[in-house]
Amino acid sequence: MSSPLLELQSAIVQRLASDSDLLALMPIDLMAAEEKDRRLYDYIPEDALSPYIHIDAPVISKVYVAPHSLVDVSLTLHIWHNQQLTGEYGNHTPALLLQAVKQALRFKLLMPSYQVMQVKITNERIFEDTNVDVKHGVLSCTYKLLKV
């Protein structure tokens, strides 16, 4: 049985890892020899290189009564940028990365068992982490998925 959570996450990972504009800003390499060089994670390794993207666990936020094959899946993409390590301070780098992520996800995602019916951005912001050297960008979205 297919899972809308895993299919959506996989489709987003594949889209982000293949988007040339995003890759020009941040070299995502899912096949990197070392984990720290991947820069796109569904967990955060201790030695992750800055900047990187973390895909938070997707959640089924709504199941529709009719048709029962329609669900809303919400997820958040976190962009982490250590200003001290890169020497680039302020909101500029996280803002560029957030924009590139949004651009990469602007077309419908392809999934084997689900079709994207609608996408809503529910939160987009940049803020300082508890570590003042780190800027944290957040992009939260809800995808309405139809089982095909």
Model pLDDT for residues 7-40, shown as the tens digit of each residue? 999 999 999 999 999 999 999 999 999 999 999 9
Please give the Cα distance from 33 to 104 (Å, whole number).
25
Q: Is 3.30.2000.30 the CATH classification of the domain at 4-147?
A: yes
Sequence ranges of the domains in the chain: 4-147
Residues 88-106 have pLDDT tens digits of 999 999 999 999 999 999 9
